[in-house]
């Protein structure tokens, strides 16, 4: 298995693929690689970003084995890195499309929600913010990102009740735009959406997203500082 995060260009589209051969568990180096890939896409003048996982897993969230080894300071640092990395995606000047080929849980779910458009794959998969279920108060920044993707009347279920949504439920709620029968079909749908978004004015898109999400990111970072990561 190569690098857990791979970058390639497909015409105007930057493709960032998450694949560690397992659950795409997140760590500080993982986030650093993700951020570097987004920096590269913007620096190279890509017109859109397609973010995809492996067959069966978009990402299962933070590496649980790693969490058990960290000191309180290390845990705070990891939580801060998670927040800033996802907010980096959320605020990217480029159109972002997620191809969810399997489970998207906790950090994986909010990373998918940070993208502008999402597509999922039919199957016994979960899209779940499970923080409350495992004893972690929902961070303000995470709630704010989720609120951009989850309908307001279902936020309590998603954020407070740790509700696991199936792909069909996510589609019915508008959390995802369409479903692919297999992960390859999901990526085809996402590729087409990224291609369409790539045809929009990059300058207008970037400024419009800044106006839409800039104030949200500022408040999210304020909450992050107040809550200590």
CA distance 155 to 139: 14
Nearest partner of 127 among 115, 113, 116, judged by Cα: 113
Specify the pairing of strand 13-18 against strand 5-10.
antiparallel
Question: Rounded to an integer, what distance in angstroms lies between the CA atom of residue 113 and that of residue 15?
Answer: 17
Out of 32, 42, 44, 131, the active site residue is 131
Cα–Cα distance, 188 to 159 (Å, whole number): 30
Rounded-to-integer distance, Cα 98 and Cα 63, Å: 21
Identify the burial level of 195 via C-beta atoms within 10 angstroms of its C-beta, where 0-12 means exposed, 13-18 middle and 19 or more buried: middle
Residue 169: active-site member? no
Determine which helix (DSSP H) or strand (DSSP E) holds 9, and give its type and residue range. strand 5-10
Residues annotated catalytic, as ranges: 131
């Amino acid at each position: 298995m190569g690098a857990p995060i791979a970058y390639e260009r497909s015409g105007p589209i930057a493709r960032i693929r998450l694949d560690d051969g397992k659950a795409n568990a997140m760590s500080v180096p993982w986030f650093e690689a993700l951020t570097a890939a987004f920096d590269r896409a913007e620096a190279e003048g890509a017109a859109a970003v397609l973010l995809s996982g492996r067959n069966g897993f978009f990402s299962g969230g933070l590496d649980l084995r790693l969490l058990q080894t960290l000191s309180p300071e290390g845990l705070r640092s990891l939580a801060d890195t998670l927040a800033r990395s996802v907010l980096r995606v959320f605020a990217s000047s480029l159109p972002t499309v997620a191809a969810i080929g399997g489970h998207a849980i906790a950090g994986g779910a909010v990373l998918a929600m940070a993208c502008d458009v999402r597509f999922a794959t039919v199957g016994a998969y979960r899209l779940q913010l499970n923080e409350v279920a495992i004893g972690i108060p929902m961070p303000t920044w995470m709630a704010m990102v989720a609120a951009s993707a989850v309908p307001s009347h279902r936020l309590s279920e998603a954020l407070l009740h740790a509700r696991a949504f199936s792909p069909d439920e996510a589609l019915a709620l508008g959390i995802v735009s369409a479903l692919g029968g297999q992960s390859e079909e999901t990526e085809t749908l996402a590729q087409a959406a990224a291609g369409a978004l790539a045809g929009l004015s990059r300058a207008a898109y970037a400024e419009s997203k800044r106006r839409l999400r800039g104030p949200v990111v500022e408040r999210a970072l304020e909450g992050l500082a107040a809550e200590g990561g």
